Copies of this chain bind each other. A is one copy, B any other.
Amino acid sequence: MIKSRLLTPGPTPIPERVQQAMARPIVYHRGAEIAALVKEVNEGLRRVFPTEGDILLFAASGTGVMEAAVVNLMRRGDRALVIRAGKFGERWGDVCAAFGVEVAGLDLPWGASVDPGQVAGRLRADPTIRAVFATQSETSTGGLHDIEGIGRAMRGSEALLVVDAVSSTGAHPLPPEAWGVDCVITASQKGLMTPPGIGVVTLGRRAWEATERSDLPKHYWSFRMTKAALEKGGSTPATPATTLLMGLREALAMIHEEGIEEVWRRHARHAEAFRAATGAIGLEVFPECPSNALTGVLLPDSLDARDLAGRMKSRYGIVVGEGLDRLAGRLIRLSNLGYMDDLDVIATLSAFEMVLREMGWASALGAGVSTAERVLTEMKQG
């Protein structure tokens, strides 16, 4: 018997309660029930970032709401500073370019984290930059960017700060008002413990002002039309993903029962266990400043990540993330994002070190697991 354990950095495992919530009869998307559902989801989401700003929901995955941010906040020919240190930072650039937004790249090696002072320097040097597009947790590397620091460094600038928090929501706080973030985009299938298909946008006052100037073509993604529909009937202009919203409401209830601060602490504790164990196994944590959502482990040339991930799945039923694009074959991404407990971390590490041994890696069996146990007991559950 091999149980299946999906431990990728998205989609993440779905709690039984969320599954059950989605199995309830579907509701009509023009009735009072959907208005109440959207309201509860929005309130639950506000407490996750946390934010007092507007929340808009779209039937879409994360890339969809990245596009929504660009087409609602920018004008054709505007210049945007795009922080790129991985696949998802690069995606901001691709979306901007597709819509005629000029991309000024702030390009770093994959896995590096931007120095907020560099962002400030680029803005001083080029006052035509209208927005900075950043990624809080770069899912392709496991790297974390200091959004609070970037927001502080941008103080006084008129440029907007737009942040992809798809893999950081729930793992790290991102209070947009306190940190000077104008727009956050995220999605349902990672820290929010719900299947993919809901895109989430937070918007502050300056972002709303930008929507008035924006001349990029839009319909499905229109923030103004979406807000108008919410204010009029409590729902969305296009058909909402009702079943997924019922799941998301339940997932948010679970998050707030645990307490959002405890959810952040749990992610910090699990990620620290993965990082310490990686060192004990004799391997290297890849990113310069690692996110608490996932741990990117760089493999030496003697180990192939595809082979390793394949063995973890076939021997132990554990599906982990592999490296993407230029990191294919070289990186393993161990996720502790979303619905994960201490023993999921232990199980992942145990499979990891048993497969490493099988592949000829010389670390002692139990080296990673025992280190993780030490971290987990020291950083006690709240």
Contacts and interface: CB of A to CB of B under 8 A. Distances in A.
A160 to B, nearest CB: 19
Nearest to A95: B219
Contact of A319 (B20, B28, B217, B222): B28
Interface in A208-230: 216-220, 222
A121 interface: no
A197 B241 CA distance: 5
B61 A217 contact: no
Contacts of A187: 239
Contact of A218 (B22, B98, B197, B237): B98
Contacts of A61: 59, 238-241
A8 B366 CA distance: 58
**Majority-rule SS of A interface residues:** loop
Interface in A32-66: 59-64, 66
B238 A63 contact: yes
A363 interface: no
A319 B23 contact: no
A25 interface: yes
A77 interface: no
Interface stretch (A11-19, A254-262, A289-297): A11-19
Interface centre among A23, A189, A197, A216 (most CB of B within 10 A): A197
A62 B219 contact: no
A142 B274 CA distance: 57
A196 interface: yes
Interface string A341-361: 000000000000000000000
Given A60-B60, A60-B220, A187-B239, A29 B11 contact: yes
Contacts of A63: 219-220, 237-239
Interface of A: 4, 6, 8, 10-11, 13-14, 19-20, 22-23, 25-31, 59-64, 66-67, 94-95, 98-100, 187, 189, 195-197, 216-220, 222, 237-244, 319, 322
14 contacts: A10-B239, A11-B29, A11-B239, A13-B26, A14-B243, A19-B22, A23-B23, A59-B197, A60-B220, A63-B238, A98-B217, A98-B222, A196-B239, A197-B243
The 8 closest A-B pairs by CB, nearest first: A195-B243, A63-B238, A197-B241, A61-B239, A98-B219, A197-B197, A59-B61, A99-B217
